[in-house]
Structure 1
Amino acid sequence: MSRSIVRQSKFRHVFGQGVKAEQGYDDIRVSKVTWDSSFCAVNPKFLAVIVESSGGGSFLVLPLSKAGRVDKNYPLVIGHSGPVLDIDWCPHNDNILVWQIPDQSLSRPLTEPIVVLEGHSKRVGSDNLIIIWNVGTGEPLVSMDDHPDLIYNVSWNWNGSLFCTTCKDRRLRVCDPRKREVVAERLSPHDGVRPMRAIFTKDGNIFTTGFTRMSQRELGLWDPTNFEEPIALLELDTSNGVLLPYYDPDANMVYLCGKGDSSIRYFEITEEPPYVHYLNTFSSKEPQRGMGIMPKRGVDVSKCEIARLFKLHDKKCEPITMTVPRKSDLFQDDLYPDTAGPEPALEPEEWMEGRDEDPILVSMRQGYVPPKSRELKVAKKNVLESRPSTRRSMSTCDGNSLTSQGLERLMEELQNLKSTVLSQERRICDLENKLSQLNHVSGESEEPREARLGGIGYPHVVAYKAKTFAL
């Protein structure tokens, strides 16, 4: 008789479990916007959820410790003039969305972001443009317009040197942002016309979800250096919900959550055939509206928890723990290799110069305690610094050798600058008045064209190894 060989894996028996009712978050009016994004973002300090609101877009930010029923008058972040389509936390600062969130609960509605990033010609997600921003200065670092249609998602590789995208034109692209070019692409990694998703794995391959020509949901694993044939391609089921992948680089596991599904399937990616191994399915009675996943540094190592997902229902958020059953109370080294910490490996200037660095890792042996709030200082560059000048700048002059002629030149330059500023102020006032008159006549409000950090439009991504964000 032949004996079946059972694949050895420490994650083979991972099981999911919903928390007790009092540990969830109730009475949350989850957004009903029809957009294929998560609607939820979580880190070791906060849970953020896009919610229903009138007169603009809003999202709710709760300290993780504030479980239970959410007061209907709980303050929201309300600085958006249009619907919020997606949110994400900065990986280097647990208080930044990049709205600055205080450690304690909000005491009043938050209306002012630390910085507004303006650069898209239409609503973010509608002009097929990818912009990478330096949020410390509010400046765009890189702009790419290689996509002819709606961009579904963007995902960075492990060291922030490349990102991959999926697009409505059915192409999977690998982009080098510093060269501002597409370095590899694959037409129709999935034959269906429904939306795709793609994420980089830690070893540099690309994991995708999509649909077959017969509308079956499908997953794939690809080598971006050879897009001819997939490493693995697996049909799953027939359903309309787009499969959103959540990746754990430490365990090399992927959790698949479909909007409208009542289940979460999880897989392990290995170097042995069939490369993508099905592990198990967590099922519950209610369908999910969205999902968020806790960074590894936020899980409970004392309970052998390797992942925590936050499932959005219509009016609540339910944490789900993924645990490896172990009897020992000792720290499990094999489950918790050093994981990506909050410190950035590079500054934006270093990244732009072409440097690549892997994430700075931290040990999980003692668990992770989030640091106190670190304020993000935004130092916008003075637009007048880029103004061409035919005169020598005062900063290049030696103060000790300032002659009467030099003083006259300085006074003349200051007068010119003052005139320029006043002229621009008058022009801005004139334009605002004209816009106000036009809006009054038409009875309509202007289409929002800004992307306010935190509730940013889609697609968006955090540049994981540089203090940059792409919106």
Structure 2
Amino acid sequence: MSWHPQYRSSKFRHVYGKPASKEKCYDCVPITCSVHDNHFCAVNPHFIAVVTECAGGGAFLVIPIHQTGKLDPHYPRVCGHRGNVLDIKWSPFDDFVIASCSEDATVKIWDIPKHLLTKNITSAKKELLGHARRVGLIEWHPTASNIIFSTGYDYKIMIWNLDTKEPVIENPVKTISCHRDVILSMSFNTDGSLLATACRDRKIRLVDPRSGAILQEASYKNHRVNKVLFLGNMKKLLSTGTSRWNNRQIALWEQGDLSVPLVEEDLDGSSGLLFPFYDSDTHMLYVVSKGDGNIRYYEISAEKPYLNYLMEYRSHLPQKGIGEFVSPLLLWGSGCWPLASQDPTQHSLLA
């Protein structure tokens, strides 16, 4: 890991995390054992959703965020997929709407009741049919309500308009077919005018979501990309992946020129996939890995050295899934207990 000897002004020199007390944790949550590289949980101001083990199909739990403690083994689930659920995302416009995608090649939109769940939810509000193979990723458009993007193992990105009366939608508004391998990650810029993708062919692509045209394409031999993320309004992208020597690595890119990264940072030689989370208000980056017990904190700046390492949180329990909303971050460990942190920025962190 690089070290920069110069002194600089920073409000985040002493960011730290600490475990929440047991009564503020969620216990006995049957987390999925799927090995798919995804978050497996999602959180908003009202609910926590966690993909769970389910015989004969796919399901996930929706737990009110204040309902901590031991979970009833017969707690109602959201079920209806015929295959394992691979991704879940809350709508940014409605805290009581959540989307899920599955190995059964469908995307489903669910209405979650405002009161406590009393029975299983089996009927989806919308069902999106169009992918030929399993759907691995979904992303809501950040500024256009009722627009959702999905991508699957058919190498296609499909754009869906949910503002229709039909419960089953078979034709997407647009299909983007510029990729030649499985898409591993999607990220929008703040106004939704650009879509960044990371593909298994080791390329980062900047796509115009309206036309489907590729605006830029990056393939850097020293960095095999897995995840990509827009960094708010800084006109920069961050990617996680591995170096040519199989070290885990993060790289910072200028949005206008993806030919060479601005910064490359080797982390370690572990094998777990790195997930980046960015807080645009504080310009802090959190780097988390499934299977690890640590969270690395960085501060992003507009000037060199751009990427400033702060500290890291360490735990003896490995993470299985990660979720965030605004500033809070939620991670699920093997004991299904979140961790809360205190830091000088007044922003909460859950793990």
TM-score by length of 1: 0.64
Q: CA deviation at 1:230?
A: 1.4
Name 1:329's counterpart in structure 2.
Answer: none
Corresponding residue number in structure 1 for 2:155: 128
Q: CA deviation at 1:223?
A: 1.1
Structure with the higher helix share, 1 or 2 = 1
Contact 1:29–1:315 (8 Å) recurs in 2: no
Partner residue in 2 for 1:199: 229
Match of 2:111 among 83, 100, 109: 100
Percent of pairs identical after alignment? 38
Deviations 1:259-284 (A, max 9, x none): 11000001111012210111110111
- 1:188 alignment counterpart: 220
CA distance in 1, matches of 2:339, 2:44: 13
The answer as to whether partners of 1:268 and 1:278 remain within 8 angstroms in 2 is yes
Which segments of 5 or more consecutive residues in structure 2 lack a partner in the other structure? 99-108, 136-151
CA positional deviation for 1:123: 1.6
CA-based RMSD of the aligned residues comes to 1.8
User: In structure 2, do the counterparts of structure 1 residues 22 and 295 end up closer, same or farther at CA, with 3 Å as the change threshold?
Assistant: same
Please give the alpha-carbon distance, in whole angstroms, between the structure 1 residues aligned to 2:221 and 2:287: 18
Distance 1:190 1:241, change over 3 A: farther
Which whole-Å CA distance do the structure 1 matches of 2:326 and 2:190 have between them? 15
Q: Which runs of 5+ in 1 are unaligned?
A: 297-307, 327-334, 337-471
TM-score, normalised relative to structure 2: 0.85
Contact 1:13/1:325 (CA < 8 Å) preserved in 2?
A: no
| CA deviation after TM superposition for structure 1 residue 113, in Å | 0.9
Match of 2:178 among 146, 156, 166: 146
1:35 maps to which residue?
Answer: 36
Shift of 1:325: 6.5
Look up the equivalent residue of 1:309 and give its one-letter code. L
Give the partner amino acid of 1:176.
Answer: D
Q: CA deviation at 1:295?
A: 2.1
Q: Which residue of 2 aligns with 1:254?
A: 285
Indicate the residue corresponding to 2:246 in structure 1.
215
Which residue in 1 is equivalent to 2:61?
A: 60
In structure 2, the residue matched to 1:116 is 127
Looking at CA atoms only, which structure, 1 or 2, has the larger radius of gyration? 1
Measured against aligned partners, the alpha-carbon deviations of 1:162-215 in whole angstroms (never above 9, x if no partner) come to 1100001111000001121110010136434xx611001112211011101111
One-letter amino acid of the structure 1 residue matched with residue 190 of structure 2: W
Question: In 2, distance between residues paired with 1:255 and 1:286?
Answer: 18
Are 1:190 and 1:218, in contact at CA under 8 Å, matched by a contact in 2?
no
State how 1:16-415 maps to structure 2 within 5 Å.
16-97=17-98, 98-124=109-135, 125-137=152-164, 138=169, 140-188=172-220, 190-192=222-224, 196-202=226-232, 203-296=234-327, 308-324=328-344
Q: What is the identity, as a one-letter code, of the residue corresponding to 2:242?
A: F
Distance 1:37 1:190, change over 3 A: farther
> Cα gap change, 1:110/1:279 in structure 2, threshold over 3 Å: closer, same or farther?
same
SS in 2 for 1:22: helix
Q: What is the distance in 2 between the residues matched to 1:189 and 1:40?
A: 33
What CA deviation, in whole Å up to 9, does each residue of 1:192-244 have, x standing for no partner? 4xx61100111221101110111101111101321222111111111100101
Could you say which residue in structure 2 is the equivalent of 1:376? none
Q: Structure 2 counterpart of 1:324, which letter?
A: P
For the 8 Å contact 1:44–1:295, the answer to whether it is kept is no
Q: Deviations over 1:317-354 (max 9, x none)?
A: 4143352168xxxxxxxx89xxxxxxxxxxxxxxxxxx
The alignment covers a number of residue pairs equal to 312
Q: How far is 1:315 from its partner?
A: 4.5
